[in-house]
Structure 1
Amino acid sequence: MFEFDGNHWFLHRVLRWRVIASVAWSLLLLPMSMAAYLLFLQVNLFHPFAWITAWMSTLCSGCALFSLILLLISLLVVIYLDSRNYTVAPCLPNTRLATLASIVQPHRFIHMLSHTLAGLLCGWAAAFLAGGRYKSLDVACCGHTSLSVQRDCLNELHLFIVLFGGFVGFTSSLLYFLKYMSYTAFPIIQISKYLQFRAALPCIVKQSAMQSFLLLRWYCIIYFFFGYIPRCWLLTGMHVELDSTKPRLDSLIGLLDPGLLLQTWLAGTFILFTWYMAWALLRIHITEAYQFRVETSFVEDSEMCLPVVLASNPPPIVKFLALQDLAILSRASPCRRRQVFTLSQPGGRPHTWSLLSSHCISLLSELTSQLSAHQDATTGDGRPTTSSAHGSQHPPQPECLDMHTGLRNKIEGPGFRSSSVASSPFSPGPLRTPTRTLSTTLSPLFSPHPLAPMDTSIPAVSSKMRDPQDLRSSLFGSPWHDVVENSPIVHRGQSFWSFSSGAPPMADNPNMRPSVASPMPWTKDAPQPDRVAAKLSQVRAFLIKMPIVVYATQKIAESSSQALFADGQAHIWAFEAVSHMVAASFTEDQYGVVQTNLSSILCTMVNLLEAIDKHFKLPQASNKPLRPTDSWPDASFKSLRFAVRSALRTALHRIANKFGHHLKAVDLSPEHLKRLQMFVDYKE
């Protein structure tokens, strides 16, 4: 999310003015959009002169100016909210339930409410501009013949268009988060802002028209069943009547009005076009390349230099723009590359190259560690790994709930840490007790394994009870006997009170004799936490088996893989920058500054390539990239992992082709040299 009230200098001096420029262009283009909307509203191909005359008169009228002011206010609200929710690395939930939870966040709820109100305002302005029978909310009733009393009736046509504007605002806000329109995709080819906007304009028009048509279809269905609710509310609040001579719009006859459907579709297209145009202008201005300074002679301007910006942990948008400038610098700016290869004075040290290369290496190492951790957390079939404590091959012992407080006890004594147990003559299976409190029970409510043990601890015993029979009689003779008998028991694995084969019994080993604390006085009104937790556990087990819960908690395909490469664009720029700089150093590096850490760069890139290859072998990570589609908005983040792999291989090929067999002189391990030799021989 972009924060313009931060302390970083780039947010105040550059990014804020870019947002202001995009807002200014959106407001300047809004009158042209409104003029085009009015031109389509009053289309009359058989009388073109009358068409143009009516269009000019409406455009210069006071109602058009008033509607334009309302549209400007609503557009400012939309742009402000969208600018606060932009991000360069999308947050990708792994389940549908997580997606729903991300939508109902408070700031997103405010986003939806504001867009709904802005849509209602734009719908009212669109209906007011349409004029005729759509202009006002109340009209004179046509069924009254008396001239002395003139009654007002509700104009349901106007209400239909206004409510459609609110529906468009709500759905556009919902799709803004579901389709990740907050994700700011940087252009692959650097072109001017005008060319980018001209290329995006046909897509905006097409998307607005298609989305308005689809929303109109669903809106008609919703209004057919629930349209009487706002109509009755307005009839009661405004003290007006319903014209009996006109069909109601919650009927098939009323909805099948071609003129009304056309006006509503045009109004929705106009609203979406203005909002999407502002969205595209904001993205174009934000992603414009910015040229940072490589070095400076003034101390007060040192924070604006590219190495310092990357090393100071800047905001994500500043970091991406700095890496973009570094990639452009390394590829197409020999004079700026020369500044990177120079030595600092006094001292003669390559501080600039050291800062830039260390940041790129840390980015690649971080991605390598994430991929390795993800690889270790999954098994060969792509499922999470499960392992018992201390490497035991037996299932972990279930947890035990203390009778007095409902809290689990920890293991005390070495005799209870045995990995294998034998059955006891009085315990057919381990006691399966539920979680401790309501909060801990509801937290794993949608866990895919509701019966999985949460702890491997068992209660401690002391030396007071030296015989299992005494322990049994003390336990079953206590007031908690009914609670223990009614508690749920899961017969799984071995006995709870048993020990491993070859271990001495309790009676023979004084260090392993159990003791049970004296229970508290029992009353009928005393709470029984184990029964409450047992009921909650049963409810949880019932809910987890419901099809809708299974569907909501099921993992989305390739979600974990897409989340790992959500910020892959930064890594792509790091590959390009490092590879171009290393390749250029073969002829431009006069002091040999790149040779100081060339081995670490090559090792990091080869290790990352191996980690990516292992990741693509997992079943949950598809090896085939998605087919390129002209979908709008941009969904390129779903295939960033393929772009990262291609960029990394291209970077290694660039270095291998430039250095050739000279790579054998670099201090590398035999495995890394063997992998690089494959790039030299074009076998990779």
Structure 2
Amino acid sequence: MTYECKGKNVCLNGGTFFLVISGVWSGLYYFIKVYISEKHLSFPVIYQRKFLQLKAQVLPLLKECFGLSLWPTIYFAVLYHYIGESLSKDFSSTFGYFTEDSPVCILIYLHLWMFGAIYYFNMHLMRFFFNLFLTEPIEFPLFKTNQDSLCLQESVNMSNLPIVQSLACLDLRNLAQWSKHRRQVLFTLSQPGGHPHNWNCLAENILKLLNEYTELLNKSMDVTELTKPIVAPIATQNPLRYLERFRNLRNMTLMTDSGVVDFVEVTQESSPIASFPQAAMEKLKQKLQSIFNFIKIVSGVNFLFGDLPQANVQKCLANGHVIIWTSQGLSDLVCASIAEDPYGVVQKDLPAIITSLVRLRQCLDKLNKVPALTKRVVGFDDFNYRMKSAVSAAVKRSLFNICRTFGGYMNEVPLSKEVITYLQTIYNKV
């Protein structure tokens, strides 16, 4: 940083100071440009061993970093040309150094470019290692061994830990496609009792995930009219609608009316004195809400301080890979159950599964009306457009596989007319 000059005085080395300040600039530029804006993991389509991935990515990553460091180097050179002299004088006056005017050679800029490329390579290599180890497929246990362990059923819907949820959905897809032994564990009944606890818990969490995603998309698109649900919610463990169609089958989960009243509703009239403050508070809340809605009408206020529907839609699409793996895994499990499920534990939930997938597919069809996801602006936001197409195609493919497998029995499945009409557009034999 310093050298002896003008006798016994100490002068500031301009080249070293230039490189030190450039290191601060590189770290700040990387933090703003890359670290804040790119927080996601990319799962490979076909998983390979870690050494093969490292071998395939190191050299292209090194070449890419030399290109990425070019523009930050140019920006810093221009910025230092205007404020570099004042920075060096302030630094020298603070520590009692002298400054000498020394020309900056081309070699110092080459060093700046090379050091910037090495810094970017180290940062991207660290991100690559995180991506390499965190996206490795793992097998979740299908039942809890102790209270602290995580099983597949509860991990599928664990949105507070996104990496655990992603790995669980990926394991669900792999289980449905390749692991017949693990599928048999889901199709078995507990002893004693004879209840499909493993499948019921898994189906409940998967349907909850799909329904929450559908509701979030509907809210994000700022739907003004509340859409009426296609069918009434079908309980995963109490399918009451089967009583009408399958009277000859014995269903021990149904409750019979014995004429005994278990609960008696007691109504208690509230005193007018106690209800007056509550009524006043309700009127005050309604008044404040009307004022707030009027302020939002003012041009620009809602745009600056409100939630943009397109931004919320893009946030939903960022987690589209979870829906792709879940819908494909659920579809493959349902299709495999026709030959591997000896007790029919999956068929009882078939109406709820089909209805949830149809509702999700109809919600995804509405995304074509979002301006940011049309083909005309695909060049500005290619990731969201491709993710929308991928999620929509995965849900449609899942419905098609179920209809193809159960095509001869779809008339026996209790579905609403709206769902059957929509399924006929996908599979004309329904």
Normalised by the size of structure 1, how large is the TM-score? Answer: 0.49
1:622 to partner: Cα distance: 2.3
State which of 63, 66, 71 in structure 2 corresponds to 1:209: 66
Amino acid at match of 2:422: R
Amino acid at match of 2:191: Q
State which of 409, 416, 423 in structure 2 corresponds to 1:669: 416
1:654 to partner: Cα distance: 1.7
Distance 1:553 1:217 in 2: 36
Amino acid at match of 2:396: R
Q: Give the SS at the match of 1:565.
A: helix
State which of 172, 180, 188 in structure 2 corresponds to 1:342: 188
1:281 to partner: Cα distance: 0.2
State which of 590, 595, 617 in structure 1 corresponds to 2:342: 590
Is 1:295–1:339's contact at 8 Å kept on the other side of the alignment? no
1:651 and 2:398 aligned: yes
2:246 aligns with: none
Unpaired segments ≥5 residues, structure 1: 1-136, 248-253, 380-408, 418-434, 436-440, 452-543, 630-634
State which of 52, 55, 68 in structure 2 corresponds to 1:198: 55
1:557 to partner: Cα distance: 9.4
Is 1:154–1:235's contact at 8 Å kept on the other side of the alignment? yes
Is 2:158–2:164's contact at 8 Å kept on the other side of the alignment? no
Q: Give the SS at the match of 1:609.
A: helix
State which of 185, 188, 197 in structure 1 corresponds to 2:45: 188
2:137 aligns with: 289
Distance 1:294 1:660 in 2: 30
1:671 to partner: Cα distance: 2.2
Distance 1:448 1:231 in 2: 50
Distance 2:10 2:340 in 1: 84
Distance 1:204 1:628 in 2: 24
Distance 1:289 1:652 in 2: 26
Is 2:177–2:332's contact at 8 Å kept on the other side of the alignment? yes
1:318 and 2:164 aligned: yes
By relative contact order (CA 8 Å, sep 6+), the higher-ranking structure is 2
Is 1:320–1:570's contact at 8 Å kept on the other side of the alignment? yes
State which of 82, 86, 93 in structure 2 corresponds to 1:225: 82
Q: Give the SS at the match of 1:227.
A: helix
Amino acid at match of 1:216: T
1:276 and 2:276 aligned: no
1:508 aligns with: none
Distance 1:368 1:321 in 2: 21
Q: Give the SS at the match of 1:242.
A: coil
Is 1:558–1:622's contact at 8 Å kept on the other side of the alignment? no
Amino acid at match of 1:612: L
Instruction: Give CA-to-partner distance per residue, 1:224-274, whole Å, 9 cap, x none.
Output: 111123201222133232234x23xxxxxx3xx321111110011111111
Amino acid at match of 1:321: L
1:184 to partner: Cα distance: 2.1
Q: Give the SS at the match of 2:11.
A: strand
2:17 aligns with: 159
Is 2:89–2:99's contact at 8 Å kept on the other side of the alignment? no
Is 1:302–1:308's contact at 8 Å kept on the other side of the alignment? no
Is 1:562–1:638's contact at 8 Å kept on the other side of the alignment? no
1:139 to partner: Cα distance: 2.2
Distance 1:602 1:650 in 2: 12
- The verdict on how the C-alpha distance between 1:278 and 1:311 changes in structure 2, with shifts beyond 3 A counting, is closer
Distance 1:350 1:411 in 2: 50
- Larger CA Rg, structure 1 vs 2: 1
1:305 and 2:162 aligned: no
Distance 1:234 1:646 in 2: 60
Distance 1:659 1:152 in 2: 86
1:176 and 2:39 aligned: no
Distance 2:282 2:189 in 1: 61
1:362 aligns with: 208
Distance 1:557 1:614 in 2: 13
Amino acid at match of 1:258: I
- The verdict on how the C-alpha distance between 1:570 and 1:295 changes in structure 2, with shifts beyond 3 A counting, is same
Distance 1:262 1:226 in 2: 20
State which of 330, 333, 346 in structure 1 corresponds to 2:179: 333
2:321 aligns with: 569
1:660 to partner: Cα distance: 2.4
2:234 aligns with: none
- The verdict on how the C-alpha distance between 1:214 and 1:605 changes in structure 2, with shifts beyond 3 A counting, is same
Q: Give the SS at the match of 1:655.
A: helix
1:313 to partner: Cα distance: 6.9
Instruction: Give CA-to-partner distance per residue, 1:635-665, whole Å, 9 cap, x none.
Output: 8467432221111011112222222232222
Is 1:657–1:680's contact at 8 Å kept on the other side of the alignment? yes
Distance 1:199 1:234 in 2: 45
1:539-550 alignment, distance < 5 Å: none
Q: Give the SS at the match of 1:152.
A: strand
1:610 and 2:362 aligned: yes
1:305 to partner: Cα distance: 2.8
Q: Give the SS at the match of 1:597.
A: helix
Instruction: Give CA-to-partner distance per residue, 1:435-491, whole Å, 9 cap, x none.
Output: 9xxxxx9x99xx76448xxxxxxxxxxxxxxxxxxxxxxxxxxxxxxxxxxxxxxxx
Amino acid at match of 2:202: L
- The verdict on how the C-alpha distance between 1:308 and 1:368 changes in structure 2, with shifts beyond 3 A counting, is closer
1:612 to partner: Cα distance: 1.4
1:203 to partner: Cα distance: 4.1
Amino acid at match of 1:572: I
Distance 2:177 2:121 in 1: 37
Is 1:337–1:581's contact at 8 Å kept on the other side of the alignment? yes
Distance 2:370 2:94 in 1: 62
Is 2:142–2:152's contact at 8 Å kept on the other side of the alignment? yes
Is 2:190–2:197's contact at 8 Å kept on the other side of the alignment? yes
Distance 1:553 1:206 in 2: 42
1:623 to partner: Cα distance: 5.4
Amino acid at match of 2:179: S
1:302 to partner: Cα distance: 8.3
Distance 1:618 1:163 in 2: 45
Distance 2:380 2:333 in 1: 31
Distance 2:139 2:93 in 1: 62
1:140 aligns with: 4
Unpaired segments ≥5 residues, structure 2: 226-280
1:353 aligns with: 199
1:579 to partner: Cα distance: 0.4
Q: Give the SS at the match of 2:3.
A: strand
Distance 2:347 2:377 in 1: 36
Amino acid at match of 1:349: H
